[in-house]
Structure formats: structure tokens, C-alpha cells
Amino acid sequence: MSTASSDAATDSAVPGEQEARPRRVRRLALPAGVRPYLAPLILYGVTKLVGLTVFAFLLEAAGDYRKKEPRFGGGAHWWDVLATWDGWWYLQVAEKGYDPRPLERLDPGGLFTVKQNSVAFFPLYPGLIRGVSEVTGLGLFGSGILVSVVASFVAAAGIYAVVSLLAGARAGTIAAGLWAVAPGAGVEWAVYSESLFVAIAAWCCYCVMKRRWVAAGLLAFVAGLNRPTSAALIGAVGLAALVTLARRESRREHGVAGPVYAMVAAPLGLLTYVTWVGLSMGDLTAYFTLQREGWAHYFDFGAYTLDVLGNTAVGHHNYLFAFSVPDLLAVQLVLALPFLIALMLRKKPPLVLVAYTLASIVTVLGTQQMFGNTPRYLLPCFPLLLAPAAAMSRLKLPSLVVFFSTAALASGWYAHYVMFELGIP
């Protein structure tokens, strides 16, 4: 009887009363595969934003960029600096395409004996800039920044994926944050191709670790269209595939077709572009001649690096491309490399990470180029973050907050201002 009365009372409720009751708000449910990446991407984004803000403040406070040419580190606004030097070349390619005419010789006696040409800059990044501009209606500068920023988050997610496989999710999150404040990280949100390359490289290594050979081969192929230093990644993928094929157990588990495909596909992007440059300019070695005689960049087995280290040790600057502050920071990073390599090897990472990292370091230190940019050139060596991130994962949250707050603020100077204003990025 009481139940019937209760039901009657419920049925006789004032119309609209139920509608007036507050509805429960459902939380936005992220896909299960996306949720693990939320923390590292937030840490990366906030840290980068702080560093960029400090960079902007320093630029405005000094005001030196207003006195420089727009192509060479200057501009009407502080953000214009992010599209100078190499950024200017990328925007030229995005706007006008290539003009691969035969090498033009300059008068002898100068540093450069060949006229610079935009074919020295690989096509993937400027092609994406042009594509994004066509689709979104943004200008080329805005599209370049957009491509770099999006690629940097993809790279941070890839770094998290690789490190979390080896050292846990907390270490992976920290590694993504460390990459945001690494020396040279100023180019991650600039019109430069580093973020795009690291995004490809990190996920390529991840695919190799998960034995997804077709994806790894395709990513290595794409990397070859982005930067010449992709040779280190291509070699690492090929070596990992070769070792897989050489072991009977791994052949049975993973088959033969996947590793063989990765070995064949990986170098095709790099070889295709370099060959196209050679054929278009009438000299198959044109790309390498252009790098050597047009930009003074070439592999010298470390002679230039030793020259810089020797000069810096005694306070001299009798070497090519001398910039005191960037060079001093680069020297400190180079001196830390043996320690970082030893810590990485102690973690016994997969072969693909070891080969990729060591080959990248040898390429950087063995090449004559602007020494102050060494932190930028080493930015793709993200596996070096494995051991520091694993060690820092044992710290409590307050300690991590203090570290990343301090590093984010400081990175606005050492990773941004030093590179763009006190040197040539």
C-alpha cells in the first residue's frame, strides 16, 4: 500500500519539476589510447610556453633585433626572429619552390666558393608549410610556426612513448619535459625542421621497438626527405632489421618480409632527393659540394670540434664561426656527452636507439659547422634523456615542480636568446 502511495506521489509531481533538476554533467571522456599522453604533453606545452615568454621579454628588453636585417635575425616584431636565418630559406622554398641551376662559382679567396642555393634545404618541411598555408589560409610564416608547434607535440609524445616503454610512464613524462628545456630547444617552435624530424625519428624508433617494420620503414623514408642527418636514423633502422634477420628466433617470430621492407624503404627518401639535386644541377655530387663550398659544412672527422675545444680551453677564438657565449655552452654540452652516453648504455636500451644516438653524435662532432649550434644539432638525440628521466622519476612532485619551473625560465635565455641573438641558429 505504501509503495502504491509512493508511486502515486511520484506520478503526481508538479510538471516540469524533473526538468528543473540539475542534470549530471558528464566528463569529457578521452580515448583510452590518448589519456597516457595528456600529462607529458601538458608538461611539454607549459614548459615551452614559459621559455618562449622569457625569450620574448629578453628580445624586447635588449631591442637588438630591430637593428638587424629581417633575413639575418631581425624584424619588425620579436616573433619575426623565429623565421630568420634557416627559417628564411625554408619560407623561400615554400613560396617559390626550388631553382636547381648548375653550381655558380664565386671569386676565389673567400670563405665560400660556391653561391648558396635553396636545394640545400630538404623539401618535406617547406612542403608542409605550403600545404598548410593553402588549406588554412594562413600566411607562410604562420603556417611554418603551426607545423613546427604541432610537430613538436608529436615529437614529445613520441619521446614519451619510447622512454615509457623502457623506464615507465613517469620517466616518459619527465623526458618530454626535459626535451622542452634542452639546450637548443629554441628551434622547436621556430621555422626550423628539427621538431618535424624528431617527431618522425621518435616514432620510427618506437615502431622498430614494437617490431612494426612497415611503419618504421615508411617513417625512415619520410625522414630522408626532411634532413640529411636522417642518415643516422636510416642506418639504425637498417642495422636493427639486419640483426633481426640474422637471428633465427627473431626471424621465426617476426618473419622476413617486414625487416627486409624496412631495410629497402628506409634510405629511398634521402637517396631520391640527393640524386634529384645532382641530376638537376648537372653534377651528382652537387648537394655535397654545395654544403662544403656554399655553407662550409662538411665531415672532417672531428678536426673542427677539436680546434674549438682547444681554443676555448685557453680563452682564444681563432677558429671559424666563433661566437663566445653559444660556443661556451656548446663546449659544456660536449664535455657532458661521454657521461650521458655511459648512463644511456647502462640502461641497456634497444639497438636501434643506441645506433641512432651514437651515429647522430658522431655526425655532429665530426662535421665542420657552427659550433655554437651543437646543442641544436644534438636535439634529435632524445635517447640521451632516458637515464636522467629515469633518475628524476624517483623525485617527489614538489622537487619536479621546482626543477621544471627553474629550467623553463632559464631556457628562455640559454635555449632561445643565446642561439637566436648571440649566435646564428
Maximum separation of any 2 CA atoms in the chain, in Å:
109
Q: Of 289, 256, 244, 241, which is closest to residue 120 (Cα–Cα)?
A: 289
362 CB-side CA count, 13 A: 11
Q: What is the pLDDT of residues 145-183, one digit of tens each?
A: 999 999 999 999 999 999 999 999 999 999 999 999 999
What would the pLDDT profile of 19-30 be if each residue is shown by its tens digit?
444 454 455 567
Neighbours of 169 (CB within 10 A): 16
C-beta separation of 73 from 424 below 8 A: yes
Phi, psi at 93, each rounded to 5°: -65, -45
Q: pLDDT by residue (tens digit) across 328-360?
A: 999 999 999 999 999 999 999 999 999 999 999
Q: 368: which strand partners?
A: 298
Per DSSP, the residues of 207-219 read HHHTT-HHHHHHH
Cα–Cα distance list, 210 to 166, 176, 206 (Å): 12, 20, 6
**Dist. CA 172–CA 37, nearest whole Å:** 9
| Burial (CB count within 10 angstroms: exposed 0-12, middle 13-18, buried 19+), residue 245 | middle
* pLDDT tens, residue by residue, 171-180: 999 999 999 9
Output the pLDDT for position 5.
43
Q: Which DSSP state fits 281?
A: H
The CA distance from 106 to 87, in Å, is: 24
Sequence-ordered list of residues with C-beta below 8 angstroms from that of 145, at least 6 positions apart, any chain? 82, 83, 189, 190, 191
Ramachandran angles phi, psi of 45, nearest 5°: -65, -45
What's the confidence (pLDDT) of residue 18? Answer: 44
Kindly report the pTM of this predicted structure.
Answer: 0.92
d(CA 385, CA 336): 12
Partner residues linked to 298 by β-bridges: 368
Contacts of 360 (CB under 8 A, 6+ apart): 229, 232, 378, 380, 381
Q: For residue 259, what are the CA distances in angstroms to 199, 267, 351?
A: 22, 13, 14
pLDDT at 25: 43
Q: What's the sign of the alpha-carbon dihedral 120, 123, 128, 133?
A: positive
Distance CA 112, CA 290 (A): 10
The answer to whether the CB of 193 falls within 8 A of the CB of 144 is no
CB contact at 8 A, 321 and 372: yes
Contacts of 381 (CB under 8 A, 6+ apart): 357, 360, 361
Query: Phi/psi of residue 332, each to 5°?
Result: -60, -40
Out of 236-240, 254-258, 420-424, pick the least confident: 254-258
Q: Does residue 48 sit in helix, strand or coil?
A: helix
Alpha-carbon distance 388 to 360, whole Å? 19
* Residue type for position 419: M
Query: Higher confidence at residue 345 or residue 248?
Result: 345
Do 368 and 300 contact (CB within 8 A), yes or no?
yes
274-328: pLDDT as tens digits: 999 999 999 999 999 999 999 999 999 999 999 999 999 999 999 999 999 999 9
